[in-house]
Amino acid sequence: MHASDITSKINQISTMPLFEGVPLNVLHWVNERCEVVRVFAGQTLLDPSHRNDAIYIIISGFAQVRNPGADGQALAYLMEGQCVGEMSVIDGGQPSARVVADTDCMLLVIESQTLWELIGMAPVVARNLMRTLSSRLRYDNEVILESLRMQRVFEHDARVDPLTGMHNRRWLCEMLDRQIQRCNMSGEELSILMLDVDHFKSYNDRHGHLAGDCALQSVAQALREGLRVSDTTARFGGEEFVAIFPGVGLKAARGIAEQLRQAVSDYPVRDYQGNPLPGVTASIGLAALEPGQDRDRLLDAADAALYRAKNAGRNRVSE
Ligand SMILES: Nc1nc2c(ncn2[C@@H]2O[C@H](COP(=O)(O)OP(=O)(O)OP(=O)(O)O)[C@@H](O)[C@H]2O)c(=O)[nH]1
């Protein structure tokens, strides 16, 4: 290598975070001991299935850290001055991710033996390495926190109906299974009601689908306000709602259902501009848990009772 090439390589090395504060004579030593290699776009630098014995510092080009799983999704991008491989060199383990050259790259390769000698000569390298690891850890923590936040959002969305803000059928089924199991063990009573808005198809046809949406929101609000614990109600689908009453027998459930039926028919409906719309009524089917009954049989019983309420003229409660 020409003297001018050596100077320019050393100048370049000195600007890299790992070599911050490293004396010039040590940089010369690094230059003598460490190779610069060229890798081509698409080439793998690190792979979890292969042992790694060196740190690679990107002199030019870009690399991608990829999910080692089947999808190979890019997790992070690495650019000039950043290094890879330090974790497996430090702890002697396999690389935790796959690193692939995104473009053609020039890399400075520091073998693990060389790294430990380098740290002995210039302890500041250890500090620089810790900084690199700490910023990587910080980044990973942020990614973990963000993915936990997203997970909570997805879990919430998977169980909440966006139109009414009520729990959805999926949540209700899970909740009902749990409550049935609990009541079967404790011998406690449990009732459910199934509520269906009357003539809702013609309401939509006459006033429009958006007005229908507003009516469903009003029904949901009437249920929320009328129930002791709103968390026991869900939009079961379409214009149908289900409420669970743990610890409540059929007789007491009858009273609650009647109040709710009244609350729905009294509840004002307004369009999205706040203009009044005609109200709606609802029919309600009631069922109480029988010994050994499962969720589907209990829902079927409430559905059959609802059918009777519809047949008997609607806007009423049946068992
Ligand atoms: N606006 C609106 N309409 C809905 C929604 N979900 C279901 N529907 C409508 O609800 C109506 C239900 O109609 P049907 O099942 O025939 O029952 P119905 O007209 O209420 O008659 P009865 O139940 O016998 O009183 C259908 O027209 C659906 O399109 C929704 O989220 N928004």
**Which of the following is catalytic: 86, 239, 240, 319?**
239
Q: What is the pLDDT of residues 156-206, one digit of tens each?
A: 889 999 999 999 999 999 999 999 999 988 989 999 999 999 999 999 999
H/E stretch holding 137 reads helix 124-159
Domains of the chain: 3-153 (2.60.120.10), 169-312 (3.30.70.270)
Q: What is the pLDDT of residues 244-302, one digit of tens each?
A: 999 899 999 999 999 999 999 999 999 999 999 999 999 999 999 999 899 999 999 99
Distance CA 176, CA 183 (A): 10
Whether 169 lines ligand 1, by a CB cut-off of 6 Å, is no
- 195, 200, 318: residue to mutate for ligand 1 pocket, most atoms within 8 A of CB: 200
For residue 315, is pLDDT > 90? yes
Distance CA 137, CA 131 (A): 10
Any catalytic annotation for residue 239? yes
Q: What angle do CA 210, 214, 217 make, to 5 degrees?
A: 140
Report percent pLDDT > 90 for the chain.
78
Q: Are 53 and 36 in contact, with CB atoms under 8 Å apart?
A: no
In ligand 1, the atom with minimum distance to the C-alpha of 209 is 1
Distance CA 82, CA 67 (A): 19
pLDDT of residue 227: 85
Name which of 64-68, 106-110, 199-203 the model is least confident about. 64-68
* Residue 229 banded pLDDT, cuts 50, 70, 90: low
Q: Are 63 and 102 in contact, with CB atoms under 8 Å apart?
A: yes
pLDDT of residue 47: 92
ipTM above 0.95, yes or no: yes
